[in-house]
Chains A and B, each alone.
Chain A
Amino acid sequence: NAGVTQTPKFRVLKTGQSMTLLCAQDMNHEYMYWYRQDPGMGLRLIHYSVGEGTTAKGEVPDGYNVSRLKKQNFLLGLESAAPSQTSVYFCASSWTSGADTQYFGPGTRLTVL
């Protein structure tokens, strides 16, 4: 039982490049989330999904897209990376919404030059 896994762990991009972060969970959770963590800012919600095939915007969605084609996977895409997207990205999952425990992945450290 791996819980929540994230791929890759580290990535360096040049401005304008694109990439996709992969999140996978093996707990059969309905809800999945993408957060970014920046110093002094805590965790900010980028996008989330309430089930397979559904996605919704969070607090800071601009510059990101997501897809949830399979229940266990939640992809975060950056179409044209910018230095402001340098951050640590965390994926999480839960059974239900904000009233439930969220289980977090180990994070992806992204640097955009």
Chain B
Amino acid sequence: AQSVTQPDIHITVSEGASLELRCNYSYGATPYLFWYVQSPGQGLQLLLKYFSGDTLVQGIKGFEAEFKRSQSSFNLRKPSVHWSDAAEYFCAVGAPGYALNFGKGTSLLVTP
């Protein structure tokens, strides 16, 4: 079965600084990887996903993520964070015929 770990529970960055959120997965075959964002009081919204092909994936709101098979990682990045990016971020791993497995989330705080 697949699983995902988000090592950072909370991260604080200054507005305008770069951001990297970590995600490590466990799965024997090529995984289907997702990043979702949850704003306070809202449901989850897909930021980006990786199925195959180019290992650098572009998403909405200026986010990108890189799939590194050798490190079993799918880290989310943004070059310059805006105050509106403050939210909870979830990494998820899936496979055909299986349910998605979500990480426990990373809470992002953006300071002025």
State in angstroms the CA–CA spacing of A41 and B34 once bound together: 18
Flag if B100 contacts A107 (CB, 8 Å): no
State in angstroms the CA–CA spacing of A58 and B102 once bound together: 13
Among candidates B46, B99, B101, B103, residue contacting A101 with C-beta atoms closer than 8 Å? B46
* Contacts between the two chains (Cβ within 8 Å), count: 58
Flag if B105 contacts A102 (CB, 8 Å): no
Flag if A98 contacts B44 (CB, 8 Å): no
State in angstroms the CA–CA spacing of A105 and B46 once bound together: 12
Among candidates A48, A90, A101, residue contacting B43 with C-beta atoms closer than 8 Å? A90
- Total B residues in contact with A, Cβ cutoff 8 Å: 25
State in angstroms the CA–CA spacing of A69 and B35 once bound together: 31
Q: How far is the CB of A2 from chain B (nearest CB, A)?
A: 13
A 75-104 to B, binary, CB cutoff 8 A, 1 in contact else 0: 000000000000000101000111111111
Give the chain A neighbours of B104 by CB distance below 8 A.
40-42
Give the chain B neighbours of A96 by CB distance below 8 A.
96
Give the chain A neighbours of B44 by CB distance below 8 A.
43, 90, 92, 102, 104
- Total A residues in contact with B, Cβ cutoff 8 Å: 23
State in angstroms the CA–CA spacing of A103 and B34 once bound together: 12
State in angstroms the CA–CA spacing of A24 and B36 once bound together: 21
Q: How far is the CB of A88 from chain B (nearest CB, A)?
A: 9
Q: Would you list 26 pairs from A and B whose C-beta atoms are within 8 A, ordered by A residue? A: A4-B43, A41-B104, A42-B104, A43-B44, A43-B90, A45-B99, A48-B99, A90-B44, A92-B44, A98-B97, A98-B99, A98-B100, A98-B101, A99-B32, A99-B51, A99-B94, A99-B96, A100-B94, A101-B34, A101-B46, A102-B46, A102-B100, A104-B44, A106-B42, A107-B41, A107-B43
Residues of A near any B CB (own CB < 8 A): 4, 33, 40-43, 45, 48, 58, 90, 92, 96-107
Residues of B near any A CB (own CB < 8 A): 9, 32, 34, 36, 41-46, 49, 51, 90, 94-105
